[in-house]
Amino acid sequence: MKFGIELLPATKIEKLVGTAVDAEQRGFEFCWVTDHYNNRNVYVSLGAIAAQTSKLLLGTGVTNPYTSNPCWTAAAIASIDEVSDGRAVFGIGAGDKATLAQLGIPWTKPLTAVKEAVQIIRTLLNNEKSKLKGQVFEISGAKFNFKTKRSIPIYIGAQGPKMLKTAAQYGEGVLINASSPKDFDVALPNIKEGCEAAGKSLSDVDVVGYTCFSVDDDAAAARKEASSVVAFIVAGSPPPVLEHHGIAVSDADKIKDAIAKGDFGTAFGSVTEDMINAFAVAGKADDCIDRIKALEKAGVTQFVVGSPIGVKKKRALEIFGESIKPKFG
């Protein structure tokens, strides 16, 4: 099992870098930085982290094919690879329809957009000229004025069956926002199908569990800290996912309506234990170890510690380094 940490550049970059340095010292191998227009820039953040770390693999977790042209994106991640001395990984997904709508950007053919963007980016990263007349992008002979030194691994964010197959077929890794083994029991057959289509084995693909994670010495406090993140996950989950986890759609609608009204007290207070069990890894170290082992058994090969991380990030990382990581070699 490999371990990664998700960082949100909603805080000052100096503080973000400090958390990344702490994570590296605690044994994390990957650092994934989220990409949202309303936070600090993902590539500036990754560059700052690169300057203060030496081992962490640094990736976008995740960007999308719409807000920046794939050629610009390819140059950005290639630059991160250069300043980090070959430690970049690249994460891309279809993006969030609601956020893109705020920016006036159409969410056009998301599956095709990801496929075409990956094709363009991989070609450029391989120091080749990119030409593509696709359904979403048309590139007529783009090429870097510099040489990349290696092929940067591409990870694709996926949830639905088609995107899971695409991610396995075209990427070196599949990033899945899920915290329960049940979700991976459903995802793995699609990932295997994608691998078969590409003529590779499942072991060639890094299956990443991108989780809502919260650890603390006080299990109840850890679970309460996770409830705010879980509320948004529940509100955004389609009925089949809720039903899969035994959660009533009416209960989810109550949370969704409260969030829409800005009544976060009601929204967060309506999160049940079953919801936390379904959509988070939360509790004391032993609770988290048990869940990580269950995810490993379900096929996860990289476990990502996502928001909120813990009641206090520094203590949560201490618990990870001292009590959780040693259980996985």
Buried b (16+ CB within 10 A) or exposed e, 167-186: bbbbbbbbbbbbbbbbbbeb
pLDDT tens per residue across all 329 residues of the chain = 999 999 999 999 999 999 999 999 999 999 999 999 999 999 999 999 999 999 999 999 999 999 999 999 999 999 999 999 999 999 999 998 889 999 999 999 999 999 999 999 999 999 999 999 999 999 999 999 999 999 999 999 999 999 999 999 999 999 999 999 999 999 999 999 999 999 999 999 999 999 999 999 999 999 999 999 999 999 999 899 999 999 999 999 999 999 999 999 999 999 999 999 999 999 999 999 999 999 999 999 999 999 999 999 999 999 999 999 999 97
What is the structure's pLDDT at 329?
Answer: 79
Q: Is residue 256 part of a domain?
A: no
- Domain ranges, residue 15: 2-218+282-328
What is the structure's pLDDT at 98?
Answer: 85
Q: Is residue 38 part of a domain?
A: yes
Q: Is residue 159 part of a domain?
A: yes
Q: Is residue 52 part of a domain?
A: yes
Q: Is residue 147 part of a domain?
A: yes
CATH number assigned to the domain comprising residue 11: 3.20.20.30
pTM (2 decimals)?
Answer: 0.96
The domain tally of the chain equals: 1
Q: Is residue 206 part of a domain?
A: yes
What is the structure's pLDDT at 306?
Answer: 98
